[in-house]
Copies of this chain bind each other. A is one copy, B any other.
Amino acid sequence: MERKNIRFLLQYDGSRYDGWQKQGNTENTIQGRLEQVLSRLTGEQAEVFGAGRTDAGVHALGQVANAHLATDMTEREILDYVNRYLPEDILALKADRVSERFHSRLNAVGKVYLYRIDMAEKSQVFQRRYIYTLGQTLDTEAMSQAAVYLTGTHDFRSFCAGRQVRKSTVRTVEEIAVSCEGTVVELRVRGDGFLYNMVRILAGTLIEVGLGKRTPESMTQILEAEEREAAGFTAPARGLFLAEVLY
């Protein structure tokens, strides 16, 4: 039987999972669930490669993952099979056959994340898992100004939760767009790669700017400090979405 490299486009509600990546013997990860279903499909242990290792509680609108599968099924049949057996908080939007050499993570040239903040005093009942309820008004103009300082190629060590020991912490952030609709502020962050917790620390720092606790100009000092303590808090996982993987 032919072995096909299948690329999946995935959406998930990360609320009840320990993140994307399998860790030790916990199966309660998105990767773990997908591997279970694909192993069932082929009858052999499947290995799934994901583009972004989203943390516990983080969601995805457009995660990309691939797996080499020995199956006679068409892409359409694989897609239907996967959606029949995946839990209802994980959905495969597409399943496409790609070149044998395609690797979701290694071939990715960038990613887009969204971070959603609600300024409303009361939490939204039906959106509560998908937004960070701040309950305070943000100065989005100041946040946009601060975003300019953070855009570009920098050493983002201050925005990294300290797992990166010897590896480079230089990344390029192409865009941080701040938009507002009603009481909801949305940050859209596009970059070539992100350090551990980087988007959540960027979001937390920009929230502190929006609250007037930091100035837009102080972003420069944070970058120069090259230590986690210089930056703002880590915004909660529930507001974060991996929106798109760029190739």
Binding site for B on A (CB under 8 A): 11-13, 59, 83, 88-91, 93, 122-123, 125-126, 128, 130
Contacts and interface: CB of A to CB of B under 8 A. Distances in A.
Contacts of A122: 83, 91, 93
Nearest to A93: B122
A165 B133 CA distance: 47
B88 A128 contact: yes
Contacts of A12: 125
B13 A125 contact: yes
Contacts of A88: 123, 125, 128
A128 B89 contact: yes
A91 B125 contact: yes
A93 B128 CA distance: 15
A116 to B, nearest CB: 11
A57 to B, nearest CB: 14
Contact of A91 (B90, B93, B123): B123
Contact of A11 (B13, B59, B125): B125
Contacts of A11: 125-126
A12 B128 CA distance: 11
